[in-house]
Structure 1
């Protein structure tokens, strides 16, 4: 099969032929001729070839698919090649069998949620969706109401700083077993309609010009307000004997426990060791982010005392009075886990806790999630984490994951975070289409509570299964919440643009079908954009103008994460490194798209907007990427070529603008330093000596405990060296400390 999209240096040779010398748009002429439109220096040359007969069959043979999980092993060839039946309501399951299914197109905005069950998409009612999502009380619960509900309010005065609710005991194990059974009945993923996802979003006056034209006019809109951000920590004091005794029976009953006791002996020492990092991390936040810090929240375990009463773990140095509760709250898992998820408590699994962070109560939507071994090393602006104009700040590692077959037992045994990245890649591929997705950097994570909530609700079975894992690895796999939230945000932004163009802008009569006149308009748009493909200077690269744009809006520019590599105002991040010199509308949009012959007598289901949207958004994401890039090439800046017309369709345009605001993001190369701490000498040379040089200081630091010695003298020397490092950089006590 000729897959006529050039993908530059990122192309997969299995899927694409060599790039042509000049850009081409493959389309059919009015007499069923194959027309090659070539772009050279902005001019079009029409090369009329021989008459090409329309395909006798609407089957497209796809190349064999390889497992592209990032690993050292050779790719695993699937047993059978996949064949896509390009007719209304059909697709291919995970091993290549053609199955009847609904397109996901309508559900992105107008239709009811669509639930995936075993690879098949089924259109269901709201009440059914709510039941499958594990919430039968509220039929709309599968939608995202936003985290700023009545639960998300100030925690000051509502939560005890030390005590757990009187008489509280951990749930009976029968509840754990019941929820595990319930999770097994839920779908792996669902599609949340855009209009439901954005219903809590609001627009001011600046979004229209900003998202459509990448312009902010301060004389018209004035200055925007700096955002406030919660800093949320996961923390445990492993030296607390009550913690060890509370955890012990769950360790003994864990599926990970072995007869020799090796797992219990190995998993707890450095994972739960305390170097007093939390105290100094909070000092670093107060020193370098105090101007925009909203609340500090410390997420802890409840522990059982000798008398059987339950209390929250709490740093011994932390003040215990009402004066600080307006700015700092200690939350046990019982304080913020969802009602159903709390039936599986307690958990000693950081992934499980992270999957519930969106439930922490607050009066702001924005979170910067940190571990206690993460520190701010330089002064920050709010825009180093989030800004109203550019959205969530994200950073990624070079390594990518692209799991296209179900993860195996071998994958579950891989080192560190890899099993969870592989599994979450598998889920994202099934929901949004197959592509490589980079792993997130190991530093603080900027998040929207409401988008985070949506990203978890979109995967009902994995989300509930995760809540029932008390230790990492008990069932092999879990959703990796940071990876999921970042890529869910990126994909939803892309999906909103494709839905806007195919379902709304290109179908002005809104009948769900692209007639010949409407198809010609799309080809014309693509021709215009193709003329500018390869002209790197044609579109203004907004990632070069982040600081200036923020300044125009009266917002402080980034101080640390100043190396921006992409913004969602430049388009989806998936188009950043692709070249689209050739685009075949008959392959990417629908067979016969370029000819009027195939629906002269009756409607052809392949020309339905739903089928074409699904093809671009999920089935052939490379096609969707190139279509988006070529359409954006029509203008020098902004996203206007993909938006509904302002005059003709104001209501849908408002929905799309809300979605673009909700899912906006910026990708940066973080100014950060990650160190696996091993011994005192290493800390002295790699950290203390290095950071003494102002030119070598880092904006963010993560000091991961990789200490293997149990020698008391070596541990004492390391503790003293770490203490010296901390006090040199964050020696001033914060107002939250009872003693220093």
Structure 2
């Protein structure tokens, strides 16, 4: 494990081996046009739950065996007594989340997968050796009709290679590093915890669109970790993992602030998640082998990684395309003076237009450029797709450019610092080749060493056209390179939304009744998604029972009808 590299850079030519084009993609990414006579099929999605029944005795027995040998265990047994108070408690949330999916997403569901721990199978014939079985919800039907829609996977079913040697895991982040291995005939999945439920009708476009990619939701807090050895790095909750993963992303893509993902359902491509984890080999394997949360000081955060990996790779594909293929006209790996002149002329109009910005004003969108995030619903309708029904507040699409350019200001863009010293002078390499002007160095400068410069270059170039990404794409004469870039854009495209959702951290019965029942459900308030997070930090039977009564009232009010998979 320690011999694996922290970070590797996967070439685009290799990264797009798993991408197939249907024929409309070049027009779509180059000019944001689509032949609306060619209707697209409505996507089907997998809903994948990370679930455990922490109340089952067999599960408790197995967990305790590993708790005793965990490095987190202490002589007084304090960690064992406290860490599982609320982490594995079962409020029967999964039953009601199933009801919500069946009610509000039935037409877009490919299948539902439950990822769970294995326990001893007490039912065995005489002479059989002891075997393990995945945990199964007691309320779930066990027949062929249900098995067509619902698949229960033990960790042994989808952890691969060396990671499988670390099982069992009792850490959701560990399990999520392997979620891309879940078997399916579709690439796109919607990952949920059992404390998440849908609260209103959803179309596929609330999660994923073939034209716009997965829908990504973010919190307002952001991270830009430049060192992980300082004492001010937090040691509790999800923050240590966000700090560490921010540091990894900075190491791979350059330093910038990156927002944390919202704590609701996560829409992700299996192939993108696979590539994201493969790009951080050692952190991904260490994360998969984390048996309990916090055993090592830092752990890769799979969703934070995958979301920003998609955004950064989309951006990187555009910069690679512009520098390596569009600007290097003779393809010799070096930008000579004539090629540099063409590049500088190309960015001049956008640079001049944005020179009027200053530090005190918000970043402005390019004048005259269509805002595709406003047009997303109408484009879906014209293409034969249902538009979003719940996540209707679309903030940005990758057809507007990678999300990184959304708020970038470019008034202080300088040629020398963004490209190389004397990049705009013919004298700088009149007598010899300047290694700073190699395409590899310029690409590294724009994509990683000075990421704001790369963002501004993209913004400059896109400001010259009304829509689409053509100014950054390889010339159409370079068929192989252009196909590679289009495949990369299809793979990494993304849309940023503000989720229509409500998150409640349940602490006690009085608070739950006030926030969930009195202020919300009794007032008939509706949201697209709910998340009821268990933060009841007591094992007192009476206190827990009071909370349970409130929670059950809430669930039965919101989701009174059984799902088709329920006994």
Match of 1:714 among 543, 546, 549: 543
Equivalence for 2:120: 304
The Cα shift of 1:451 comes to 0.3
Single out whichever of 425-434 and 461-470 deviates more from structure 2.
461-470
Establish whether residue 363 from structure 1 lines up as the match of residue 185 from structure 2.
Answer: yes
TM normalised by structure 1 equals 0.73
Distance 1:218 1:498 in 2: 30
Q: Deviations over 1:430-478 (max 9, x none)?
A: 0000011010000110000000000000001111111221101111111
Deviation sequence 1:486-519 (CA, Å, 0-9, x none): 0000000000000000000011211001111100
Q: TM-score scaled by structure 2? A: 0.95
Q: Which string of whole-angstrom CA distances, capped at 9 and with x for unpartnered residues, describes residues 188-222 of structure 1?
A: 01000001111121112221221111122313xx1
Q: In structure 1, what is the equivalent of residue 376 of structure 2? A: 546
Deviation at 1:409, TM superposition (A): 6.2
For residue 671 of structure 1, what is the aligned residue in structure 2? 500
- 2:304 pairs, out of 448, 458, 483, with 483
Q: Secondary structure at the match of 2:170?
A: coil
Taking structure 1 as reference, are residues 649 and 536 closer, same or farther at Cα in structure 2, changes over 3 Å only?
closer
Q: 1:568 aligns with which of 376, 392, 398?
A: 398
- Out of 372, 375, 383, the residue aligned to residue 194 of structure 2 is 372
Q: 1:201 aligns with which of 14, 19, 43?
A: 19
Does the Cα contact within 8 Å between 2:369 and 2:463 map onto a contact in 1?
A: yes
CA contact (8 A) 1:575 1:625 kept: yes
Query: Could you give the per-residue CA deviations for residues 579-634 of structure 1, whole angstroms, max 9, x where no partner exists?
Result: 22243222211111111112112211111101100000001111111111111111
- Name stretches of at least 5 consecutive residues in structure 1 with no aligned partner: 1-182
Aligned equivalents of 1:372, 1:437: Cα separation in 2: 27
- The separation in 1 between residues aligned to 2:210 and 2:162, in whole angstroms, is 33
The aligned residue for residue 424 of structure 1 is 245
1:316 is aligned to: 138
Q: Pick from 691, 700, 703: which aligns with 2:529?
A: 700
Residue in structure 2 matched with residue 189 of structure 1 by the alignment? 7
Secondary structure of 2:423 counterpart: coil
User: Are 1:584 and 2:405 matched, yes or no?
Assistant: no
Unaligned 5+ residue runs, structure 2?
123-128, 355-363
Number of the residue aligned with 1:472 = 293
SS of the aligned residue for 2:268 comes to: strand
Q: Contact conserved, 1:407 with 1:422, CA < 8 A, in 2?
A: no
Question: Is the contact made by 1:407 and 1:426 (CA closer than 8 Å) also made in structure 2?
Answer: no
Pair 1:693–1:639, CA change in 2 (3 A):
farther
Q: 1:308: Cα distance to partner?
A: 4.1
Select which of 312, 316, 324 maps to 1:503: 324
Within 5 Å, give how 1:118-517 maps onto structure 2.
183-219=1-37, 222-304=38-120, 308-408=130-230, 411=233, 414-517=235-338
Is the Cα–Cα contact under 8 Å of residues 408 and 452 in structure 2 kept in the other structure? no
**CA displacement 1:404-453 (0-9 Å, x = unmatched):** 11345663x52200000000011100000001101000011000000000
Alignment size in residue pairs: 552
Distance 2:161 2:333 in 1: 40
User: Cα RMSD (Å) of the superposition?
Assistant: 1.5
Q: Please state how far the C-alpha of 1:528 moved relative to its aligned partner.
A: 2.3
The answer to whether the 8 Å contact 2:446/2:453 transfers is yes
CA distance in 2, matches of 1:429, 1:229: 31
Distance 1:186 1:535, change over 3 A: closer
Give the Cα–Cα distance (whole angstroms) in 1 for the partners of residues 231 and 49 of structure 2: 32
* CA radius of gyration, larger in: 1
Distance 1:342 1:633, change over 3 A: same
Preserved contact between residue 48 and residue 113 of structure 2 (Cα < 8 Å): yes
How far, CA to CA, are the matches of 1:409 and 1:234 in structure 2?
Answer: 33
More helix as a share of residues: 2
